[in-house]
Amino acid sequence: MIEFNNRIAAQRLILKAVNRIVWDEELFGLSKGAIDRWVSKNALRDDLELVLRIERAAEKLFFLSNKSQEQVTEEYQRLSADVAELTRSVEASVAQYAKHIGMGKVCSN
Amino acid sequence: MSTHLYAFGSICRGEIDASSDIDLLACLSAPKAGINPDRFSIYTHTRLRELWQQGNPFAWHLHLESRILFSSDGEDFVGELGRPNNYTHTASDCEKFRLLFSDSLTALRESSNSRTFNLSCMFLATRNFATCFALGEGKPTFSRYSPFELDSKFPISREDFEIFARARILSTRGYGPNLTDQDIERAMSSSPSIVLWMKRLALEYLSMGYCSD
């Protein structure tokens, strides 16, 4: 139970960080389809560091979602720690990108 | 090494519309590289046997609603697993999805950030709550509209529920028109009645003499 809800909470944190920037269209989720749409709607380069970091976080969360019914293993715990680290790296990338485009486009909430 | 491919979900129910996707399962005797995880739910035989043993809702879903597309050895692995064990986690699973709905509604009320994602989570929570409740009652339904198929009347209109469903498709597939502010307001207005519905069903489940798992 905790694993499932924590995984959703981890996604919410990443999206919240990304969507602090006022995009032409916000990021709706961490699925491949949602990320591809967001990159396209906002005319972002797909090799942008922020995009790559979001994709890496999404891959880890996808792996964890496939393990949702598993026992908590060392591998699971390691990956959970990886996701926390990736969340921080996405937040750092967002801050950097916000600075690049000007603070006027960053939301406080 | 054997490979069995199945279709499951909406396509097997004939629930087809413009937003329908085809759910595919790759069932493998051993892990194998090269299968696209964006297209297939990938499970080993060992893992599926465990899900059957646990009476997991996904095992029931596959048991009742999957169709074999390909078998490398002429066998039908899922078919041969037979009936999964009884599902015994209704109370805890329903509570998990009730919490998800409630957390997502709180996030939605607190901020205009990621509203589509939060509505998407509320759809997932509502549908899965209904699916787990129905399975616990021995009346399984795996439809996207499962909340409408319970004996207890779902308190919002199909039109309003569609807003949540559209958010889910935007979040999981990036497909469909963006939600308008009016859509989001409507979904938020209907949410308190869903919270009450979940609470009432959870109490009903316990009062029917089912044990809390």
Residue range B18-69, pLDDT digits in tens: 777 789 999 999 888 888 877 888 899 998 999 999 999 999 999 999 999 9
DSSP-derived 3-state class of residue B67: strand
Residue range A71-83, pLDDT digits in tens: 344 555 666 777 7
Number of neighbouring beta carbons within 10 Å of residue B3: 16
- A31 touches B: beta carbon within 8 Å: yes
Sequence-ordered list of residues with C-beta below 8 angstroms from that of B122, at least 6 positions apart, any chain? B100, B101, B104, B105, B108, B164, B167, B187, B191, B194
Q: Which residue of chain B comes nearest to A7, CA vs CA?
A: B100
Do the bridges between strand B40-44 and strand B23-28 make them parallel or antiparallel, or are there none, so unpaired? parallel
ipTM: 0.89
pTM value? 0.90
Residue range B73-115, pLDDT digits in tens: 999 999 999 999 999 999 999 999 999 999 999 999 999 999 9
| Overall size of chain B counted in residues | 213
Contact between A33 and B175 using a beta-carbon 8 Å cutoff? yes
Contact between A1 and B37 using a beta-carbon 8 Å cutoff? no
Q: B residues 86-145 near A, CB within 8 Å?
A: 92-93, 95-96, 99-100, 103-104, 107, 110-114, 116-118, 120-121
With left for phi above 0 and alpha for psi between -120 and 50, is residue A98 left, alpha or beta? alpha
Q: B residues 23-82 near A, CB within 8 Å?
A: 37-38, 42, 50-51, 54, 56
Contact between A29 and B175 using a beta-carbon 8 Å cutoff? no
